[in-house]
A and B are shown apart, each in its own frame.
Chain A
Amino acid sequence: MKALVCVKRVIDYNVKIRVKSDKSGVETDNVKMSMNPFDEIAVEEAIRLKEKNQIQEVVILSIGTDKSQETIRSGLAMGGDRGILVKTEKDQLEPLTVGKIIKSVSDKEKPDLIILGKQAIDDDCNQTGQIVATLLEFPQATFASELKKNNDNTLEVTREVDGGLETVKINIPCVVTTDLRLNEPRYASLPNIMKAKQKKIDVLEIGSFDIDIKDRLQILEVNEPPERKPGIKVDDVDSLVEKLKNEAKVL
């Protein structure tokens, strides 16, 4: 069995985002970049399946500029076997474009499991996994918090849904998108970083795919969230009630 794990290079989750002065987007210069945390969970899950001998090969795919090789490399240091970079000029492509590229790679690679984050923390689209499943006509299990492979070529996936958990059984090949509670990704140890250096990353130019990568959406303006006003202290309960009634108008 083979797993294709899709990973995206994004602004590090813990970095404070700054909007560019012309409001055309967010500042990415001189900012720490890391693997999208949900994708990291996907890498970890694939490697765990490999360690259980349920998967033979873990292929890490990223679509982006040359710098996305760093992101692939960090997946290889966790234990992925080889990488594929689909090289583009810009970092941000729309989910449909990304979905088509993944489909095209998948047609060649023929993975049994495509596993990726439920969303990327930069544009928060939550679409790619679903689009890939649709284009490939694969069954899908989104928002996975637990995953088990059965002997009859099916996966049992627990999904985090509103108000509870749902367990589904799907046939392989399939698409799984990961949620936060699925696992705690491992660290990259130095010996493994060293091994990762020897692993192969195939670089494919986006031009070699017959896919229109033009954006369909236009971003008009990006704004910072309004700054929260500092709290105030009131002297007693009466003045609190008074303020809630007359100023905040919530009572």
Chain B
Amino acid sequence: MKKEELTELTNKLHPSEYSTESDVLKKHCIDWRGEFIGKSKLITFPRSVKKISEILNFCQKKSIGVVPQGGNTGLVGGSVPTKKGNEIIINLSNLNKIRNIDLIGNSVTVEAGCILDVIKTKLEKYDLEFPLSMGSRGNCQIGGNIATNAGGLNVIKYGTIRQNILGIEAVLPDGRIYNSLKNVKKNNTGFDLKHLLIGSEGTLGVITAATIQLFPLPKEKVVLWTSFKDFSQVLGFYKNINNRFKDLITSFEFMNKESIEVLEKHECKFINLKKNQCYCLVEFSNFQKINDFNDFIFSKMDFKNLDTDDLILSKSESENKRLWNYRESIPLAEKKENFIIPHDISIPLSNISEFVKKTTTSIKEFSIGAKIINFGHLGDNNLHFNVLIKKQKKLSRKSICRSVNKIVFDNVKIYGGAISAEHGIGQLRKLELKRNKKVLELNKMRDIKKIFDPQNILNPGKIF
């Protein structure tokens, strides 16, 4: 980007809508994990959709790359510029109004920069549930959630965010505004373009607003915590609980022993609970205003066929919080380790036990002392299979990563899974995408990218 171009562009913006200061830029050029550190000369914080349109129109004419950025909590390096240093950032945080709450149709229209937790809390006042929750909810934005088709903790009940999007507004790379903000559930009028924008990781358009389906807020939640000696018991437990309580389950999370070890090392002590090989956290929501909900759950349990070592049922929201805190602090604890190789994969439940066994063995053969930190939204076949490398051999970090990834992803293929369950491709999984996606699919994806963004200015170097 030339100096004159920078001046021309910033002249279109209010001083509060951009920064060229190195401190500000530095903060926005590094991803949450600290793995991807890019460069940029300009970050913008536009206050209106029109401004975004002007920026993109200008950038397309001058062939300047643009990185859309939400809360920058993404885990695959999609939200930061590349090392080349010739992209600018459009940060959405100033576009943060709630445009409309429809209390009859139960939907909300929000701008992309709204922070997930802020929206959730606002809607609780209306007895409404925003159907997405995850550890990063205090920072991530609705636009980022849509761009990554976020999954999170309640997919088992509400699906990924894709299932609940009624309409989207986005600025396309040439500056034109695409708007499908219709507050209707059924709309079979040709190809549904919004579904291309969902999960596009900032490569097809800058999402500026969306209309999202809401749900009634449950009266209360109860958490069941349990532990097992062996992973195979977990699946039996899942089946049992799912058959009994299908509609009441809003989360089904899994953690292995190593997850709790890393948690205790860096984050918090594990109090009043039994230590074991693996753990499950199940959340039940009281949608029907059932009286004495704990007793209701208890009375529906199939005790005869429950093969667990211990089981507890929370008796207050404080206990819910404490138990959830164990699960949600695992990623924070991992971040404090020196060398972790993350994998966010999904595997069919019927193969998951075998996959874990085989892959763990192979990794431990390759790297002695390696620990496998397994946790995740098991109810959605989603497993975080993170490898903690203990002793580094003479090999470089990069080559260790490559070998570990190969072991994991080869097995993902064998066992019929996906190489990214919810975090996306970004910069981190480009190579694996090429290896694992069928040529036909990849080519069609490239064709679509060309139609939306012929100059390749939106989030260059990501996904492809």
B contact residues, total (Cβ < 8 Å): 27
Residue of B nearest to A30 (CB): B219
Most chain A CB neighbours (cut-off 10 Å) among B273, B289, B317: B317
Within 8 A of A (CB), among B270-304: 271-273, 289, 291-292, 294-295, 298, 301, 303
Within 8 A of B (CB), among A135-190: 184-190
Residue of B nearest to A74 (CB): B315
Other-chain contact of B273, A15, A77, A187 (Cβ < 8 Å): A187
Other than A14-B316, A184-B271, give 19 A-B pairs with Cβ distance below 8 A.
Answer: A12-B316, A13-B316, A14-B318, A14-B320, A14-B321, A15-B317, A30-B219, A31-B219, A35-B316, A40-B316, A70-B292, A73-B295, A184-B272, A187-B273, A187-B315, A188-B313, A190-B311, A193-B294, A194-B298
A184 contact set on B, CB distance < 8 A: 271-272
Question: Does B193 sit within 8 A of A, measured CB to CB?
Answer: no
A34 contact set on B, CB distance < 8 A: 315-318
A189-B316 contact given A32-B219, A70-B292, A184-B272, CB 8 Å threshold: no
A31 contact set on B, CB distance < 8 A: 219
B303 contact set on A, CB distance < 8 A: 190, 194
Q: Mark A1-34, 1 if CB is under 8 A from B, else 0.
A: 0000000000011111000000000000011101
Q: Are B318 and A32 in contact (CB under 8 A)?
A: no
Q: Are B124 and A16 in contact (CB under 8 A)?
A: yes
B220 contact set on A, CB distance < 8 A: 12, 32
Other-chain contact of A70, B225, B294, B311 (Cβ < 8 Å): B294
CB distance from A7 to the nearest CB of B (A): 12
Question: Does B196 sit within 8 A of A, measured CB to CB?
Answer: no
Question: Does B6 sit within 8 A of A, measured CB to CB?
Answer: no
Question: Does A37 sit within 8 A of B, measured CB to CB?
Answer: yes
Residues of B participating in the A interface, judged by any CB pair closer than 8 Å:
124, 219-220, 225, 271-273, 289, 291-292, 294-295, 298, 301, 303, 310-321
Residue of B nearest to A193 (CB): B298
Measured CA separation A191–B303 after assembly (Å): 10
Sample (11) of A-B pairs whose CB atoms are under 8 Å apart? A14-B317, A14-B320, A31-B219, A32-B220, A67-B292, A74-B294, A187-B272, A187-B312, A190-B313, A193-B313, A194-B303
A30 contact set on B, CB distance < 8 A: 219, 289
Q: Are A13 and B295 in contact (CB under 8 A)?
A: no
Most chain B CB neighbours (cut-off 10 Å) among A14, A32, A40, A194: A32
Q: Are B311 and A189 in contact (CB under 8 A)?
A: yes
Measured CA separation A239–B173 after assembly (Å): 40
Q: Are A189 and B318 in contact (CB under 8 A)?
A: no
A contact residues, total (Cβ < 8 Å): 27
Q: Mark A67-82, 1 if CB is under 8 A from B, else 0.
A: 1001001100100000
Q: Are A189 and B219 in contact (CB under 8 A)?
A: no
Measured CA separation A248–B303 after assembly (Å): 62
A73 contact set on B, CB distance < 8 A: 295
Other-chain contact of B225, A16, A37, A187 (Cβ < 8 Å): A187
B319 contact set on A, CB distance < 8 A: 187
Q: Are B272 and A35 in contact (CB under 8 A)?
A: no
Measured CA separation A155–B276 after assembly (Å): 37
A37 contact set on B, CB distance < 8 A: 316, 318
CB distance from B278 to the nearest CB of A (A): 18
B320 contact set on A, CB distance < 8 A: 14
B225 contact set on A, CB distance < 8 A: 187
Measured CA separation A13–B294 after assembly (Å): 17
B291 contact set on A, CB distance < 8 A: 67
CB distance from A9 to the nearest CB of B (A): 11
Measured CA separation A15–B217 after assembly (Å): 13
Other-chain contact of B318, A13, A74, A193 (Cβ < 8 Å): A13
Q: Are B315 and A190 in contact (CB under 8 A)?
A: no
Q: Mark A181-209, 1 if CB is under 8 A from B, else 0.
A: 00011111111011000000000000000
B289 contact set on A, CB distance < 8 A: 30
Measured CA separation A30–B320 after assembly (Å): 18
CB distance from B132 to the nearest CB of A (A): 20
Q: Are A70 and B295 in contact (CB under 8 A)?
A: yes
CB distance from B276 to the nearest CB of A (A): 13
Measured CA separation A30–B217 after assembly (Å): 10
Measured CA separation A182–B320 after assembly (Å): 21
